[in-house]
RNA sequence: GCCGACGUGGCUCAGUGGUAGAGCAGCUCACUCGUAAUGAGCAGGUCCCCGGUUCGAAUCCGGGCGUCGGCUCCA
């Protein structure tokens, strides 16, 4: 949250102060760091004299309520640098002293005071502590001073605050809803995937139902890509370290790669691939290419391995082995704009299919302070210009994010909002002048002379792991019919209806639908309940009446009983659902 | 990686030094049933792992592994 004019900004920032005051009163000697407002609340970082736990939060919250009731006036004061420094030296607040040092000469040094408590702060704030009423402390966590892991670890307390009780309740309900949709929980309940310590952290095992989901997404995208002139390739999961030395990964991506494998006999070192591009480049470079061959589009669902820090792993959203819906497009400079736009068009098609209608574009550019990037400044600015221009031509809005580029080039990221309004990073397109240079790629132009192509790296889903994590939470596990691992469950009422039910399931499978029969000796109501819990889109109840009339009794998940229709009529409905 | 919390049958959890428990899921049997839970019975656990303390450890101590919340929002 950055807009200081937003009234929520003041409220949240003031709530952070309120919490810091409560903490100071309860735990004298606590050192204060920073406490800004954030997207949906606020936090404050403290160095406590002795460590606290989540069990202490209710007590802090109660004290906050009490200070709110005191209804103290919140006042802004300005102090000279000398006075400010003296104030914090006396009260032993090293973090505040460091913050004062960072304030440029000439800028005012302002404080906000409420009762006998004050804090160095730019403001603005609400006028009285009594205006801060509808808040809740949420969690406690560690955070480095200034976000730098070389610094001391502080204790951060997160909270949320809203203008009204109704808005607070609404927010807390949304948190509850998010918890119910947690893809890690649903992934287990719906039997989609599994992690075991024996395989290793961040290395997912796809269960049959998850694999169906994954293959369905793959098939959809493969079809779109085939239509758009992509060619499939398949490359190995490992490569000689020489390949990655040449690409620059070895020096710039080193800390993210799994330890290397040594083949001492062959005097060779192998690397588990962290990206597919060098492999695809080998394919491009294996022949002399003509300008007539370009754009040359190589696509692969390529599995890559990255050694993410253990604490960063998070279900399917952050894993160590994952499959990108990757492709590399080798183009002439003239083709760049059109190809780039075609990629954005493909991405929009994918979003529409997945019913993710709310999204924005983020252009990730270099952080000039960082030296992890390869290639010349000219290449970088050419690539950046190309992306901005293509996006401008498409009349799409974008934001710029410094430091979010890949090491070989800037990128355009697709930021998607799910059903709960949460934002996720999905697909990405990157323009790359640098790897073609490193690998000395060429094509023969109309002039009969060699020229250097450009590369576009792109992945509309991003990775199958992440997109499926996103989709699970977006749909709360209730996938649309075309994606659902089981589309139809046939439910015979009694034993004597089993063969008719199996016949119906077989007909559906013959027609290409995923269907199964619940043959257990259970009551119909119970089988329906279990199918609903399993979030299967269609249930077909088969009893004497249906067998006599040649119909199936259709029930849709969430919609209830839809009545009896002939099987062919039900299949038409299925087909309409799946197109 | 770092800080903190947590780790007991497939799942959710109870059990705080004295022979491991419940509900759900599973299996078996009976019931043969028309749109969100039929009943009874059975089975299932090296209490994450390794070491230590103790007559005795799920429980206490140490180490490891795993999971979760954070470490990006900079007075």
A104 touches strand B (CB under 7 A): no
Please give the nucleotide, over all strands, whose C1' is closest to the CA of residue A143: B71
Find the Å distance, CA of residue A53 to C1' of nucleotide B60. 21
CA distance A243 to A440: 13
Burial of A61 (0-12, 13-18, 19+ CB in 10 A): middle
CB < 7 Å to strand B — which of 424-483 in chain A? none
CB A18 within 8 A of CB A68: yes
User: What Å value separates CA A541 and C1' B30?
Assistant: 24
pLDDT of residue A333: 92
What's the CA A53/C1' B55 distance, rounded, in angstroms? Answer: 37
Coil, strand, or helix at residue A111? strand
| Strand B contact residues in chain A (484-543), C-beta within 7 Å | 493-496, 520-526, 528-529, 532-533, 539, 541-543
Residue A307, classified by CB atoms within 10 Å of its CB into exposed (0-12), middle (13-18) or buried (19+), is middle
Catalytic site positions of A: 277, 306, 324, 326, 328, 411, 457
* Nearest C-alpha neighbor of A290 from the set A76, A453, A110: A453
Kindly give the interhelix angle for A81-90 and A94-102, rounded to the nearest 10 degrees.
160
Closest CA to the C1' of B33: that residue is: A523
* Per-residue confidence in pLDDT tens, chain A, 579 aa: 556 667 788 899 999 999 999 999 998 889 999 988 988 889 999 998 877 877 788 889 999 999 999 988 898 988 888 888 888 888 888 899 888 888 887 778 888 988 888 888 887 888 888 899 999 998 888 889 888 878 888 899 999 999 999 999 988 888 888 888 999 999 999 999 998 888 888 999 999 999 999 999 999 999 999 999 999 999 999 999 999 999 998 888 888 898 888 888 888 999 999 999 999 999 999 999 999 999 999 999 999 999 998 888 999 999 999 999 999 999 999 999 999 999 999 999 999 999 998 898 999 988 877 778 888 888 888 888 888 988 888 888 888 888 888 888 899 999 998 888 888 889 999 999 999 999 999 999 999 999 999 999 999 999 999 999 999 999 999 999 999 999 999 999 999 999 999 999 999 999 999 999 998 888 999 999 999 999 999 999 999 999 999 999 999 998 999 999 999 999 999 999 998
Q: What is the C-alpha separation between A248 and A434, in angstroms, rounded?
A: 10
Q: Considering only residues 220-259 of protein chain A, which place a Cβ less than 7 A from any atom of strand B?
A: none
What is the interface pTM, i.e. ipTM, of the complex?
0.90
Structural domains in chain A?
7-178 (3.30.980.10), 188-231+276-474 (3.30.930.10), 488-578 (3.40.50.800)
Residue at shortest CA–C1' distance from B38: A523
**Hey, what are A269's tokens?**
């070192």
- Within 7 Å of a protein beta carbon, the nucleotides of strand B are 1-5, 11, 27, 29-38, 65-75
Phi/psi at A40 (5° precision):
-125, 30
Number of neighbours of residue A116 by Cβ within 10 angstroms: 9
Please tell me the predicted confidence (pLDDT) of residue A5: 64
Q: Which residue is nearest to nucleotide B65 (CA to C1')?
A: A197
DSSP-derived 3-state class of residue A298: strand
Q: Which 3 state secondary structure label does DSSP give A478?
A: coil
Q: What is the pLDDT of residue A573?
A: 96
Q: Is the CB of A36 under 7 A from strand B?
A: yes
Residue nearest to nucleotide B66 (CA to C1'): A197
For residues A506 and A516, the answer to whether their CB atoms sit within 8 Å is: no
Q: What are the structure tokens assigned to A142, written together?
A: 């560690």
DSSP state of A119: E
Asked if residues A17 and A118 have their Cβ atoms less than 8 Å apart, the reply is no
Cβ of A38 near strand B (under 7 Å)? The reply is yes
pTM: 0.92
Question: What is the spatial distance between Cα A524 and Cα A518, in angstroms, rounded to a whole number?
Answer: 10
Interatomic CA distance for residues A415 and A137, integer angstroms: 29
Question: What's the order of all strands across the beta sheet hosting A261-263?
Answer: A238-240, A268-272, A261-263
Which of A334, A327, A405, A420 lies closest to A372, judged by CA? A405
What's the burial of A182, exposed, middle or buried (CB within 10 Å: 0-12/13-18/19+)? Answer: middle
* Nearest amino-acid residue to B49, taking CA and C1': A197
Q: Which two tokens stand for residue A303?
A: 């599995």
Q: Which nucleotide is nearest to A40 (CA to C1')?
A: B73
CB A452 within 8 A of CB A441: yes
Q: Which residues contact A24 (CB under 8 A, 6 or more apart)?
A: A30, A32, A117
Whole-number Å distance between alpha carbons of A482 and A427? 21
Nucleotide nearest to A109 (CA to C1'): B75
**A521: how many CB neighbours lie within 10 A of its CB?**
6
Q: How far apart are CA A561 and CA A556, in angstroms?
A: 7
Residues in CB range of A348: below 8 A, 6 or more apart = none
CB A550 within 7 Å, strand B: no
10 Å Cβ neighbour count for A376? Answer: 11
* Cα–Cα distance, A548 to A526 (Å, whole number): 24
Contact between the CB of A39 and strand B at under 7 Å: yes
With distances taken from each CA to the C1' atom of nucleotide B48, the closest residue turns out to be A197
Q: Are A285 and A278 spatial neighbours (Cβ–Cβ below 8 Å)? A: no
CA-based nearest residue to A432, from A344, A356, A340: A340
- What is the per-residue pLDDT for A422? 84
Residue A335 backbone phi and psi in degrees, to 5: -85, -15
- Pairwise CA distance, residues A325 & A458, whole Å: 8
Distance A579 CA to B33 C1' (A): 37
Cβ of A350 less than 7 A from strand B: no
d(CA A65, CA A288): 74
Rounded, the Å distance between the CA of A309 and C1' of B57 is 35
A398-402: strand order across its sheet? A231-232, A296-305, A321-331, A454-459, A423-432, A411-417, A359-365, A398-402
Residue with tokens 């000697």: A29
Cβ contact A28 with chain B strand, < 7 A: no
User: Which residue, among A90, A107, A166, A157, has the nearest Cα to A134 in the 3D structure?
Assistant: A166
Are the C-beta atoms of A331 and A339 separated by less than 8 Å?
Answer: yes
Closest nucleotide to the alpha carbon of A51, via C1': B4
Instruction: Identify the pLDDT of residue A3.
Output: 62
Residue A315: DSSP 8-state: T
Burial of A256 (0-12, 13-18, 19+ CB in 10 A): middle
Q: What is the DSSP secondary structure assignment for residue A426, as one 8-state letter? A: E
- Phi, psi values for residue A4, rounded to 5°: -70, -15
């Amino acid at each position: 949250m950055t807009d200081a004019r937003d009234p929520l900004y003041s409220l949240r920032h003031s709530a952070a102060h309120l919490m810091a005051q409560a903490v100071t009163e309860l735990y004298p000697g606590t050192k204060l760091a920073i406490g800004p407002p954030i997207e949906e609340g606020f936090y404050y970082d403290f160095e406590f004299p002795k460590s606290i736990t989540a069990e202490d939060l209710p007590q802090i919250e109660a004290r906050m309520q009490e200070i709110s009731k005191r209804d103290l006036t919140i006042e802004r004061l300005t102090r000279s640098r000398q006075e400010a420094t003296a104030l914090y030296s006396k009260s032993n607040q090293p973090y505040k002293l460091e913050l004062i040092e960072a304030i440029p000469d000439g800028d005012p040094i302002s404080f906000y005071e409420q009762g006998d408590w004050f804090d160095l702060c730019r403001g603005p704030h609400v006028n009285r502590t009594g205006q801060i009423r509808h808040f809740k402390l949420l969690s406690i966590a560690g955070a480095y001073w200034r976000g730098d892991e070389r610094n001391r670890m502080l204790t951060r307390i997160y909270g949320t605050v809203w203008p009204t009780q109704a808005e607070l309740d609404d927010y807390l309900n949304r948190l509850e809803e998010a918890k119910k949709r947690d893809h890690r929980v649903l992934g287990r309940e719906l039997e989609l995937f599994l992690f075991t310590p024996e395989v290793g952290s961040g290395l997912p095992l796809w269960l049959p139902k998850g694999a169906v989901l994954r293959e369905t997404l793959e098939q959809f995208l493969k079809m779109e890509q085939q239509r758009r002139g992509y060619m499939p390739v398949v490359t190995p999961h490992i490569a000689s370290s020489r390949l990655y030395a040449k690409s620059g990964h070895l020096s710039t991506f080193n800390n993210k790669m799994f330890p290397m494998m040594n083949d001492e006999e062959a005097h060779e070192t192998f690397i588990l691939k962290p990206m597919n591009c060098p492999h695809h480049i080998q394919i491009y470079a294996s022949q002399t290419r003509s300008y007539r061959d370009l754009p040359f589009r190589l696509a692969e669902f390529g599995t890559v391995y990255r050694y993410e820090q253990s604490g960063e792993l998070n279900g399917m959203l952050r894993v160590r082995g994952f499959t990108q819906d990757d492709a590399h497009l080798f183009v002439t400079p003239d083709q760049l704009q059109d190809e780039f736009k075609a990629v954005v068009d493909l991405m929009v098609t994918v979003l529409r299919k997945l019913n993710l209608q709310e999204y924005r574009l983020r252009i990730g550019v270099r952080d000039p302070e960082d030296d992890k990037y390869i290639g010349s400044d000219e290449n970088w600015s050419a690539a950046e210009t190309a992306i901005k221009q293509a996006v401008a031509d498409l009349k799409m809005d974008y934001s710029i994010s410094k430091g979010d580029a890949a090491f070989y080039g800037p990128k355009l990221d697709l930021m998607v909002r799910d059903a709960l309004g949460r934002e996720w990073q999905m697909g990405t397109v990157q323009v790359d002048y640098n790897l073609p240079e490193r690998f000395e790629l060429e094509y023969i132009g109309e002039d009969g002379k060699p020229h250097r192509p450009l590369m576009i790296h792109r992945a509309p889903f991003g990775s199958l792991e992440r997109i499926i994590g996103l989709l699970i939470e977006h749909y709360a596990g209730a996938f649309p019919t075309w994606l659902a691992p089981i589309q139809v469950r046939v439910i015979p009422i009694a034993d004597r209806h089993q063969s008719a039910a199996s016949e119906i399931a077989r007909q559906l499978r013959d027609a290409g639908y995923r269907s199964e029969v619940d043959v257990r000796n259970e009551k119909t109501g119970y089988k329906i309940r279990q199918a609903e819990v399993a979030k299967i889109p269609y249930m077909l109840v088969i009893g004497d009446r249906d067998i006599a009339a040649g119909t199936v009794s259709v029930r849709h998940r969430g919609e209830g009983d839809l009545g009896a229709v002939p099987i062919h009529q039900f299949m038409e409905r299925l087909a309409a659902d799946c197109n």
